[in-house]
Structure 1
């Protein structure tokens, strides 16, 4: 009987696995992707939100890739690692021999989301936000809860879109800790960019959203029409697996510490020995190792390649004014070359998976 390798989630690493689907077939393995929709590339999300890029620039259809694999447009709700079965949203059960999760992360449920805030993820939510702003010609009071790098970039992108639409930016960014983990110089550059681009920074945590107001406590409020929640990420892992908000714990070979037949990569995984931020670069770099280990595991080979993520990595934020804000380790710089580099890197990644008509 043909052994089944099942990929859950169309993330960075799984797109590469699909591109190399012939390797699985040549090994006598069946490859299946289970994911309900398109692959949205997070690196281009704020470019779409700002209006610099069209939504199609950040979206790929896994089914367009050539190769011997099946794409089931379904969502996996639970995993039974003992029976090695998956339960899908429609109730169907699917067996696997080797399973890999690349299901990303989400904004965890909070009172802000319950009150109507828009989550910063999934990326498709930002494409919908852009459409709302365009329909209102940018004449909306906007706010972002969460002052990490994602929140800063979203706030700058919304202000950029308001300018493109001929409206005065009415954008507020709130959070007590600005861009944690980034160099001090990067934070200074971010503050300068926000002041230049019309984003007001309030170093307070948003506590509530009601009656068209964001509440900061101490009787401080601000009017808002749309609030975006960028309040931290939680791993998106199906039920049935022993995962925390940080993700499914995986060893250096990317297999779950609780079952060597289950793998996880990207935002949904937590490397036990080498924890890293939730950034797509790690999934991209680890993809070749994941692919080989999936094939080896499915064929019963004991050999497993080990993945050690880099200790320094390049991150570039789209400031929305034609410049980028970049950091590499403790270094930080801003300018047009940084954005040019970002667009080139994003375009190079996406082009690998575009099928020419």
Structure 2
């Protein structure tokens, strides 16, 4: 994907997990071919920023050698799968992933942004993650398939789950879902069959950071040097990216307290949006993340601080959006970075204690 600081190359970990060797190699690739920063995305993927067009083919070869890209383009192009991060080998989540992955090329030609969630771990934790087809557990512990945007789902068994997914995907295409692009948008105009809305999903578990094995990345940005140091210090055997800008370490010792990673689930930097800004992006004329850190502590969110009007970090509405322009900021209320601002030409100093925009 094109961004202001070069290409952004997304890495989708298989089964939502990277081995320690893959993590260390990815850190090296981020330094060699990118800006030295990895993004943790809303879909629990990782991205290498700042890649040049010339380096892109070489980087893809390296990712392929690390077994981070599926050899089948039909699988790779639709491998948007959110996985409960507490899965264990052979459990329901693991088995569903093993059944889903090879069936992706056989599904109808869905829009590329559509995705799947396997929210079948010990507690429901993926409700806020971006997905269109959701395998979940109902209030009695039974397996269901729920269309995103519907309050209830269809009771299935492990043996019928994939066939039910095919039927839902075909219904989406046959009823004009491609024009909507996403399931929840489509359901605003189309009605699911009643039989697919009979089982209520279990309640979502509260967001916590239960112990040092789960850490957060402020603004979703992970410094490759810091991540490499963390992996070596803990001796972790694997890393599992999570939604909410969190990641789980598997194995090893508990990490020592470090300011570079977030250890408080209530830290506003986990929900505030800010691009790298100047001087890291040539499109930006303002610094972003230091200001976003200060404002996030005093402003109710969502807050978005963008280095330019492209709004790469959050190209959608926010309660408060600050857009960089010629070294100053324009203020947009309840809008997107490109919307008409209510105030213009604000200096960074004037925004330090902004409380009532």
The two structures have a TM-score, normalised by structure 2, of 0.29
The two structures have a TM-score, normalised by structure 1, of 0.29
With CA pairs under 8 Å and 6+ residues apart, which has the higher RCO, 1 or 2? 1
Whose strand fraction is larger, Structure 1's or Structure 2's? 1
